[in-house]
Amino acid sequence: MIFLRNRFCRYLLILCAAVALAPAALILLFRWVNPPVTAYMLRVHFQVQQASDSDGPTLYQQWVGLDSMAACMPLAAVASEDQTFPTHHGFVWSAIGDALADNASGSTVRGASTISQQTAKNLFLWPAKSYVRKAIEAYLTVWIEVLWPKRRILEVYLNIAQFDDRVFGVGAAADRLFGTTAAKLSTRQCAALAAVLPAPERYDAASPGSFVQGRIAWIERQMRHLGSGYLTDTLAR
């Protein structure tokens, strides 16, 4: 009986270790292989399928290497979403502490996600806000930071981020929203795409309202403040 119990415990530990390490193996693979689909893309795909009888595409996405994007696009994303991206290790603890304090006090719920965390969320997880999801997101973020260079994190993020209702990635966004390629995006277009990242289903980068216009202006100022060489070392690695 003791032997059976010990063997069961051993198998259970092996199973738990395999489940815990499976995401790491997939993340390691995605260091070199571009993810064919993400959890957020699948969510939009099924939503569109249920809401429409059309045979057309349910979403638009085309992979574009970082070197094939206008240099302003990575800078705009970092200026808008995560200005500490080149130096942090996945988390900005001061921002997390501030967000927890605000949320606990009943203030407007705010996030503190880095680009690394957003990449983990968009790639593997669901959009609902919960501490369970945030814990899983944190675990995946650790592996992403350990196994990918910053350049790869930024490249994957810009290719899987949602920029419009059914539009994912800078390549498809440049084509669908501005009728151009990712390489030919202007500084204002890069800022406009970054400006809608918090809520791409609500805001329009191609025809921005007053709120998005204000964000575009702020992002452009931040880009000038950071300087065109801000990401040079990060993108070289």
Give the model confidence (pLDDT) of 58-68 as tens digits: 899 999 999 99
Give, in degrees to the nearest 5, the angle at Cα 160 between 155 and 164.
125
Q: What mean pLDDT do residues 154-180 have?
A: 97
Q: Can you tell me the distance from the alpha carbon of 25 to that of 21, in angstroms, rounded to the nearest whole number?
A: 6
Catalogue all structural domains in the chain, each as residue range(s) with its CATH number: 22-236 (1.10.3810.10)
User: What is d(CA 61, CA 64) in angstroms, rounded to the nearest whole number?
Assistant: 9
pLDDT band at residue 93 using 50, 70 and 90 as cut-offs: confident
The angle that helices 150-160 and 169-178 make with each other, rounded to 10 degrees, is: 40
What phi and psi, each to the nearest 5 degrees, are found at residue 167? -115, 120
Question: In the predicted model, is pLDDT for residue 108 greater than 90?
Answer: no
Res 32: pLDDT: 96
